[in-house]
Amino acid sequence: MAIYHCVDEVKAQPGMPVATIEKDESDLMRAADAIFVTSRSLELTRRECNKNTFYFSNVADYEHFSSAKSESLAVPADLLAIPGPRIGFVGAISGYKVDFPLLASVAKARPNWSFVLIGKVGEGDPWTDVASLKSCPNIHFLGSKAYADLPAYLKGIDAAILPCALNEYTKGMFPMKFFEYLAAGKYVVSTPLDSLAEFGGIARFASDSESFVGQLELVLTGDPQLLDRSEILAKENTYESRMKKMMRCLENLRVEERGGNE
């Protein structure tokens, strides 16, 4: 059985050979017995080529990231040196993924807050220019960190953000950090990504700097009930639970191929 796992709209990344990707992916989709996608947008477009297309969001390693709530886990020194409150982002700091003007505007609106960016600058986008962010003294670049150390860094922030640009690429993107943030016990403020719309009761959405600041102010006051709901959602969206759902899909397809006699 041939399975295609489609996790991003790769052709929308900067510098991609669009025509080649479209042709090769079309061939792959038609040859696949099943396609698994990580966003509703990808589901709609891929189903046009293959009816056996199924949506399962990106998930998180709950056990790993929930260790951020451990009292014994130490917050790294380079993060502790940054004054609070700390607003954190973990991921690729790339021009096609992150809304730099929005982030800079939010940072300027609250100079007493610290914005901590953890990740590689320009991943997948060599044209990325972070000059506008580096001009803000309260935006701190900590560079890439080992996967094993991410819970410790998440422990040391007060709120997590997904200041994603809204474009063709992010329309088909489900940010892996969403459930990782939730598992770590963090509030999440995001731009209104299509893939997160169904989680409006957990994430807070804002499309401009004024509303983004407002949503951050709300979560910084704390809401234990929201964190309780986040915990439940994070526990439901693990690699183990997603794999079980995928395997059930494949088994149902096998039954259909045999004529539904089992």
Burial of 258 (0-12, 13-18, 19+ CB in 10 A): exposed
CATH superfamily of 62-236: Glycogen Phosphorylase B; (3.40.50.2000)
Q: What pLDDT band is residue 255 in, cutting at 50, 70 and 90?
A: confident
Among candidates 207, 166, 125, which has minimal Cα distance to 41? 166
- Strand, helix or coil at 179? helix
For 53, the enclosing helix (H) or strand (E) is: strand 53-55
Point out which residues pair with 87 in neighbouring strands: 115, 159
Does residue 169 contact residue 13 with C-beta atoms inside 8 Å? yes
Domain boundaries, the chain: 3-59+238-257, 62-236
Q: What is the pLDDT of residue 262?
A: 47
Neighbours of 93 (CB within 10 A): 24
**Long-range contacts formed by 99-103: CB under 8 A, 24+ apart:** 99/163, 99/164, 99/165, 99/166, 99/191, 100/130, 100/132, 100/133, 101/132, 102/163, 102/191, 102/208, 102/209, 102/212, 103/133, 103/139, 103/163
Stretch 169-188: mean pLDDT: 96
Q: What is the pLDDT of residue 260?
A: 54
Please write the tens of the pLDDT for every residue from 119-177. 999 998 989 999 999 999 999 999 999 999 999 999 999 999 999 999 999 999 999 99
Does residue 86 contact residue 116 with C-beta atoms inside 8 Å? yes
For 108, the enclosing helix (H) or strand (E) is: helix 100-109
- pTM of the prediction? 0.93
Ramachandran bin of 177, using left for φ above 0, alpha for ψ from -120 to 50, beta for the remaining angles: alpha
- Please check the confidence at residue 208 and state whether its pLDDT lies above 70: yes
